[in-house]
Amino acid sequence: MSPTSELRDDQGQPFGDHPPRRVVSLVPSLTEAIAATDAGLLVGATDWCTHPARLDVVRVGGTKWPDVDRVVELRPDLVVANAEENRDEDVVVLRSAGIPVWMTAPATVDQALDSLGRLCAVLGHPDPTWLAEARAAWADPPQAGPLMAVVPIWRRPWMVLGRDTFAGDVLRRLGVRNVYAGSGDRYPKLRAEEPAEVQVDLVVLPDEPYPFTPEDGPEAWPRARAAFVSGRHLTWYGPSLVEAPELLVRQLRG
């Protein structure tokens, strides 16, 4: 039995018996991971796949609304997707067309590293150098805290990180506790007046998905010090995990 046939994605779906040769990625962080592992495998990626900067593949639209017909036309033997970023109906259509779809859904750093390990093994490149470096970086990461923080991801209305999020676990590992981690929602919406009421040490403002700036964001949180951080390093799981601990801690400390 081929080793790839024993590997399952984050939802328990097995892959086939042979490593893929034509891969379409619908997740920017996984596009970067696959390119760092074996760029020759990629034949398609979303319009939002910005890393590596000079990636020359067919673009297939956005993560939420990919051009499924175009994906099928590329004849991939694997599509890589994420349970949160990509729609279930698109996954169903691709699988109905006979295309295997590898789903990821990590909610912690450790889950992300394990998920990436299985994906790289499926690609025929177990334990690439960048993944080993990422594991080492998170084995004993630097600390920015202890700090209590709120982490907005959108405004109008304000939305923040809640329970069971990968980004929340990234911050927790760095000594920053999310005040909304016990929320019933993963991305709770706040009352209009709530930002001014929240008592925390820090408001963590990433540059994606909403592009917070010193002029757009911190004024709503007068009780907290503002820390502007790289959204790619806070929310992506892939090669960016190698430098994420050091970079984020510098940004969180200000």
Any idea where the domains of the chain sit in the sequence?
Answer: 3-137, 147-253
Task: Answer yes or no: are the C-beta atoms of 166 and 106 closer than 8 Å.
Answer: yes
Is the domain spanning 3-137 CATH 3.40.50.1980? The answer is yes
Residue 16 pLDDT grade (very low, low, confident, very high; cuts 50, 70, 90) = confident
The pLDDT score that the predictor gives to residue 17 is 76
Give per-residue pLDDT as tens, 218-254.
999 999 999 999 999 999 999 999 999 999 999 999 8
The yes-or-no verdict on residue 1 having pLDDT over 50 is no
Is the domain spanning 147-253 CATH 3.40.50.970? The answer is no
Task: Answer yes or no: are the C-beta atoms of 122 and 20 closer than 8 Å.
Answer: yes
The yes-or-no verdict on residue 108 having pLDDT over 50 is yes
Q: What's the pTM?
A: 0.93
The pLDDT score that the predictor gives to residue 228 is 98
| Averaged pLDDT for residues 90-110 | 97
Residue 143 pLDDT grade (very low, low, confident, very high; cuts 50, 70, 90) = very high
Give per-residue pLDDT as tens, 116-125.
999 999 999 9
Residue 4 pLDDT grade (very low, low, confident, very high; cuts 50, 70, 90) = low
The yes-or-no verdict on residue 198 having pLDDT over 50 is yes
DSSP codes, 47-82: TT---STT--SEE-B-SSSB-HHHHHHT--SEEEEE
Rounded to whole angstroms, how far apart are CA atoms 99 and 13? 13
Q: Which whole-number Å values give the CA distances from 178 to 60, 170, 198, 250, in the listed order? A: 35, 10, 12, 18
The pLDDT score that the predictor gives to residue 6 is 78
The pLDDT score that the predictor gives to residue 38 is 97
- Percent of the chain whose predicted confidence (pLDDT) is above 70: 98
| Averaged pLDDT for residues 37-63 | 96
Question: Measuring CA to CA, which residue among 55, 26, 25 is closest to residue 39?
Answer: 55
- Domain 3-137 and domain 147-253, same fold? Reply is yes
